[in-house]
Amino acid sequence: MTITVFQNARVVDPSRGLDETGAVIVDGRKIVASGASAHNQGVPDGASVVDCLGKAIIPGLVDGRVFIGEPGAEHRETIASASLAAAAGGVTSIVMMPDTDPVIDDIALVEFVLRTARDTASVNVFPAAAITKALDGREMTEFGLLRQAGAVAFTDGRHTIASSLVMRRALTYARDFGAVIAHETQDPDLASSGVMNEGLYASWLGLSGIPREAELIPLERDLALARLTGGTYHAAKISTAMAAAAVSRAKADGAAVTAGVSINNLSLNENDIGEYRTFFRLAPPLRNEDDRLAMIEAIKDGTIDIIVSSHDPQDVDTKRLPFADAAAGAIGLETLLAVALRLHHNGEVSLLRLIEVLSTAPARLFGLPGGTLKPGAQADLAVVDLGEPWIVAEADIRSRSKNTCFEGARLQGKVLQTMVAGRTVFSV
């Protein structure tokens, strides 16, 4: 087994509240020491030494909401290509959504994802299974068997379950199997033909809007059902101050509720749509600046538990269309960390809290290994130059699809090396 010593690094480990200068020692697949104390241990015989002066070492990111085309739409993204993009972004674990063709709603599909990931992926891939068969919102899937097969959570992906009875049953069954129900909420009738945030800007562009209440109303129902059933509920992607307030109230009531936010709703607002730029057609839609600032506050005060990339590859055929006809979604694995670091660089969120919501908290939420640099943990980590500037260029994107919101963006903070189970899966 090879021993690697990362010396003189800024070691950031939210699982221990650690942000200090020190070392990380990796022996084979495991971390054997990390932090200032590791620095004092010296270098074991035969170890390879990496001088990380001016660099940070963080637990590999755990992305809790990743859409992949395989099976059924491999031209958009495969498990292999998504894992390459993830590794380049310092993401060592991804939770894959069930929105595939066929849908991940039975054991064979869960096993297919796990087998394909084992054979082709360079990062950890954990499948989430569908709550309802074919994502149609009516008949529930076999939670117990799917959980046993390796599903780490249950979600209907991009779809919102209309039936309160189905959602109640889902929360009850998930509770009995110790599983999380992750749900994206958008009232289909209220959202109707809306394609962006409802407001003055949508009127100027002549586009139909989606009111913020379309997100809030089904969310309020879900939170009430979470209180009723005692099930573990995760609001997958909230985007409004109203939704954050609702989650905060549910938490205060003692409900087992968590919330996530897409990096897009944290870093962009509706004005970024500009002249009908379809790469900014997203779900949930980009909101106004007040809502974006409310999302940042919700991260700081603990209302929001995790940040996700909401990586959703779309090809040219689904994006090079009039704005109202374009598919919603953007890729985000490669830019997740660097875009999130904007909040650190401008003093809005501490680095420790930022890495917590990108790594430690999602690992804990979904019961996954990772999110820590503790001795004995699997060596899933990233070496990052927090200050290095770079420009997002389409030619450098590893994802099969190129629909990024950040093309040409100037970012600060570059991943230099990513390690999964002690094996380097990306380096510059």
Tell me, yes or no, whether 84 and 117 share the same domain. Answer: yes
Q: What is the CA radius of gyration of the chain?
A: 21
| CATH number, domain with residue 187 | 3.20.20.140
With beta carbons less than 8 A apart as the criterion, state whether 269 and 287 touch: yes
Tell me, yes or no, whether 79 and 42 share the same domain. Answer: no
Domain interval for residue 153: 60-365
| CATH number, domain with residue 30 | 2.30.40.10
pLDDT bin (cut points 50, 70, 90) of residue 43 is confident
Tell me, yes or no, whether 203 and 270 share the same domain. Answer: yes
Tell me, yes or no, whether 161 and 236 share the same domain. Answer: yes
Q: What is the pLDDT of residue 251?
A: 98
With beta carbons less than 8 A apart as the criterion, state whether 70 and 100 touch: yes
In a domain, 399, yes or no: no
Give the number of domains in the chain: 2
3-state secondary structure the chain: CCEEEEEEEEEEEHHHCEEEEEEEEEECCEEEEEEHHHHHCCCCCCCEEEECCCCEEEECEEEEEECCCCCCCCCCCCHHHHHHHHHHCCEEEEEECCCCCCCCCCHHHHHHHHHHHHHHCCCEEEECECCEHHHCCCCECCHHHHHHHCCCCEECCCCCCCCHHHHHHHHHHHHHCCCEEEECCCCHHHHCCCCEECCHHHHHHCCCEECCHHHHHHHHHHHHHHHHHCCEEEECCCCCHHHHHHHHHHHHCCCCEEEEEEHHHHHCCHHHHCCCCHHHCCCCCCCCHHHHHHHHHHHHCCCCCEEECCECCCCHHHHCCCHHHCCCCEECCCCHHHHHHHHHHCCCCCHHHHHHHHHHHHHHHCCCCCCCCCCCCECCEEEEEEEEEEECCHHHCCCCCCCECCCCCEEEEEEEEEEECCEEEEEC
In a domain, 402, yes or no: no
In a domain, 69, yes or no: yes
Tell me, yes or no, whether 28 and 113 share the same domain. Answer: no
In a domain, 405, yes or no: no
Tell me, yes or no, whether 50 and 64 share the same domain. Answer: no
Tell me, yes or no, whether 134 and 160 share the same domain. Answer: yes
Tell me, yes or no, whether 72 and 28 share the same domain. Answer: no
Tell me, yes or no, whether 75 and 46 share the same domain. Answer: no
Q: What is the pLDDT of residue 412?
A: 97
In a domain, 353, yes or no: yes
pLDDT tens readout for residues 277-330: 999 999 999 999 999 999 999 999 999 999 999 999 999 889 999 999 999 999
Q: Give me 143's structure tokens.
A: 């939670």
As a whole number of angstroms, the distance between CA 41 and CA 338 comes to 32
pLDDT tens readout for residues 109-160: 999 999 999 999 999 999 999 999 999 999 999 999 999 999 999 999 999 9
Tell me, yes or no, whether 238 and 344 share the same domain. Answer: yes
Q: What is the pLDDT of residue 39?
A: 80
In a domain, 197, yes or no: yes
pLDDT bin (cut points 50, 70, 90) of residue 44 is confident
* Beta strand 381-391 pairing with 56-59: antiparallel
Q: Read off the pLDDT of each residue in 43-56 and give the average, rounded to a whole number.
A: 91
In a domain, 290, yes or no: yes
pLDDT tens readout for residues 354-376: 999 999 999 999 999 999 999 99
Q: Read off the pLDDT of each residue in 406-417 and give the average, rounded to a whole number.
A: 97
Q: Give the residues across from 331 on adjacent strands.
A: 404
In a domain, 394, yes or no: no
State the pTM of this model: 0.96
- Closest by CA position to 287, among listed 304, 268, 303, 306: 268
Tell me, yes or no, whether 303 and 171 share the same domain. Answer: yes
pLDDT tens readout for residues 59-97: 999 999 999 999 999 999 999 999 999 999 999 999 999
As a whole number of angstroms, the distance between CA 121 and CA 83 comes to 5
Q: What is the pLDDT of residue 1?
A: 63
Tell me, yes or no, whether 332 and 357 share the same domain. Answer: yes
